[in-house]
Structure 1
Amino acid sequence: MRGFRADGAVAIAELDDEERLVVARIVADVALLLGAEPFGSDHPGDSSPADIDIDDPFEHLRGLEESIKEPSDPAILRLLPNAAPTDREAADEFRRLTDGELRATKIRRLRRIWEQLSFGSNGASDEEWVVNEDEAFATAAALTDVRLVLASRLGLTTDDDADRLHQEIDLATHALETDEEEVLPIDHERVWLGMLYQALTWLQETLVEYVARPKETDV
């Protein structure tokens, strides 16, 4: 994996086939948490009034009722936080007014990443992830959403938590490299998610550096 670098009017990262598959899959999973249909399904678009079952005309009203409730999944709550934690009525009202649009925006951003990793971009090699300059900020925001979900699953709430995770990964890597896996306790799922979290953090940092780079100006 290579981080994003500027190449004319685009940013390019390099991921092998397995890396592309892993990132595309976690992006699609986060979109599912937000209520999207499975990416790659027969109905790839975001839900809309046209998708409402005509045999159940009140389906969209029940969806609206659900959307104003505080999410019970802490990962979703990180993506859709309360606007007024100390005022439940105000928080619920704000959620009612903004939840649908916010979810749709996040899903569109995630879908765009999934499409780029699944189908590539015109003229790009199989290992290149090409992000147009005008999409870079939205892509970075989508990566933030994925990282928030992973952080929730990993129990990362402070810098100390992140430091401990890095230490766990280093220890696990050492154990695997020295055949001490049976001696040192390793939570393979946690280590795998942690390594994914680290990789996405690094990718996002390189993309943000691309966005913040000094722009060439005409003389």
Structure 2
Amino acid sequence: MHGFRRGRGGFVARIGTSERQIVARVVADTAQLLGHPVTDDAGETSVVEGDVPPWPVLETDDVVPPTDPALARLLPSASLDDDAVALEFRRLTENEVRAQKAERLALVWRSLQTDASRVVVAPGDAPAWAAALTDVRLVLAERLGIEDDEDAEDVYVGAQDGAFDGDEVARAMATLYAALSWLQETLLQAMLGELGDDGTD
């Protein structure tokens, strides 16, 4: 995997076939967690384990905070002090937030459906790409028990020195978390390189 650089057509990264498949899968899984399965350009729904129907429109009486801790990171409460305010805000905004996040994830997923090693992100799509990678990393962070920078550093080191030996799932997630963090950083650096000295395009 080679990180993003400014190239012809936008920001370009080189991601091998198996790497693209892995990243596409975790992106699809994150969209699935939000209740919005990703689809290809023909409208075909991606096949992922644990398919669930799209998230229903929330009614006043059935809005509740997510019970899955990873989903709760994607859809945090608006208030930790007032449950009524938090639930009302969730009722008014959660469907739209889920849809926006899923739309960004679907954009990334479709970009990865290519036979070429070059993944090209148009400048206008770069912010959505970066935001989608953040959401995927949040899910992985929750699964890995990452709460702060120190935890993240432990995961980075552990992925390299064999700390996850014996737990292949955790080792794979840790490696993926580190790779996506680095990939996102290269994209953000490439985006910053597009800014002028005054911080404008």
1:19 has 2:19 as partner: yes
Identity %: 40
1:188 has 2:175 as partner: no
**Partner amino acid for 1:75?**
A
Alignment of 1:42-61 (within 5 A): 44=45
Alignment match, 1:202: 182
Q: C-alpha deviations, 1:142-166, integer Å up to 9, x for none?
A: 0000000000000000222112212
Q: Whole-Å Cα distance in 2 between the matches of residues 65 and 186 of structure 1?
A: 46
Q: Whole-Å Cα distance in 1 between the matches of residues 15 and 178 of structure 2?
A: 15
Q: C-alpha deviations, 1:185-217, integer Å up to 9, x for none?
A: 532211110000000000100111122114469
Shift of 1:168: 1.7
**Alpha-carbon spacing, 1:18–1:111, altered in 2? closer, same or farther (3 Å):** same
**How many residues are matched?**
189
Structure richer in helix, relative to its length: 1
Partner residue of 1:102 out of 97, 103, 113: 97
Alignment match, 1:140: 130
CA contact (8 A) 1:32 1:38 kept: yes
Alignment of 1:60-209 (within 5 A): 63-64=58-59, 68-119=63-114, 126-172=116-162, 185-209=165-189
Q: C-alpha deviations, 1:31-67, integer Å up to 9, x for none?
A: 00000135359655xxxxxxx9xxxxxx956x43587
**Alpha-carbon spacing, 1:209–1:66, altered in 2? closer, same or farther (3 Å):** farther
Q: Which has the larger radius of gyration?
A: 1
Q: Whole-Å Cα distance in 1 between the matches of residues 161 and 56 of structure 2?
A: 49
CA contact (8 A) 1:82 1:91 kept: yes
CA contact (8 A) 1:169 1:191 kept: yes
Q: Whole-Å Cα distance in 2 between the matches of residues 84 and 7 of structure 1?
A: 43
CA contact (8 A) 1:28 1:39 kept: no
CA contact (8 A) 1:67 1:95 kept: no
Q: Whole-Å Cα distance in 2 between the matches of residues 203 and 21 of structure 1?
A: 15
1:29 has 2:29 as partner: yes
TM-score normalised to the size of structure 2? 0.84
Moved over 3 A (4+): 38-44, 63-67, 214-217
**Secondary structure of the structure 2 residue equivalent to 1:156:** coil
The CA RMSD over aligned residues, in Å, is 2.7
Q: C-alpha deviations, 1:87-136, integer Å up to 9, x for none?
A: 1000001111110111000000000111110147xxxxx00111000110
Q: Whole-Å Cα distance in 1 between the matches of residues 124 and 157 of structure 2?
A: 37
Gaps of 5+ in 2: 46-52
Q: Whole-Å Cα distance in 1 between the matches of residues 20 and 138 of structure 2?
A: 20
CA contact (8 A) 1:2 1:14 kept: yes
